[in-house]
Amino acid sequence: MPLLCKVCNARRFPIAFPELRDALWLCEKCKNFVNIKDEFVREWTEEEIKQTKLKLESFNNDITIGKTPQIKRRGGVN
């Protein structure tokens, strides 16, 4: 698995996409994705960077408020 970036040696993170069977591996420094075979797939888009930051911020807010951590279900699912 492409756990480390070949370019900058940073840790890659698996990101799941609903439309893809396998997760893509993101390097936050190089801002790109590789697949499970460590082949370049595409750049990390500005839109995705924004969304990831928003998610991280709300996640951190939940922790500081002291809510019990739980996976939020999307409205309309189940």
Q: Which residues bind Zn ion (CB under 5 A)?
A: 5, 7-8, 10, 27, 29-30
Burial (CB < 10 A; 0-12, 13-18, 19+), residue 12, is buried
Distance in Å, CB of 10 to Zn ion, minimum: 5
Cβ distance 67 to 42 under 8 Å? no
Nearer to Zn ion, 38 or 62 (CB): 38
Q: For Zn ion, give the closer residue by CB, 43 or 57.
A: 43
Phi first, then psi, for residue 56 (nearest 5°) are -65, -40
User: Closest distance between Zn ion and the C-beta of residue 9, in Å?
Assistant: 7
Q: Which is nearer to Zn ion, 28 or 62 (CB)?
A: 28
